[in-house]
Structure 1
Amino acid sequence: MTKLQLKAFVYQLLSFILLFGTFRYVAYNYFHQTGIFISILGFICVTLLGPKFMATKTKEGEKLFMKWIFLKGLREIG
Structure 2
Amino acid sequence: MSKKTKGLLYNFIGFAIIFFSIRYGLTHFFGLEGLTRSLIAFGIGTLLAPKFQTVNTKEGEKLFMKWIFVKGIKEVE
For normalisation by structure 2, the TM-score amounts to 0.92
Match of 1:32 in 2: 31
Across the two proteins, how many residue pairs are aligned to each other?
77
Deviations 1:28-49 (A, max 9, x none): 1122021111100100001011
Identity value in percent: 42
Which stretches of structure 1, 4 residues or longer, exceed 3 Å deviation after superposition?
A: none
Instruction: Give, in angstroms, the shift of residue 3 of structure 1.
Output: 1.2
**Unaligned residue ranges in structure 2 (runs of 5+):** none
Letter matched to residue 51 of structure 1: P
Q: Provide the rounded CA distance (Å) in 2 between the counterparts of 1:76 and 1:21.
A: 27
Deviations 1:8-46 (A, max 9, x none): 001111111111110111111122021111100100001
Q: Provide the rounded CA distance (Å) in 1 between the counterparts of 2:32 and 2:50.
A: 27
The answer to which structure has the higher strand fraction is 2
Q: Provide the rounded CA distance (Å) in 2 between the counterparts of 1:18 and 1:33.
A: 19
Task: Give the CA RMSD over aligned residues.
Answer: 1.3
Aligned positions of 1:4-23 closer than 5 A: 4-23=3-22
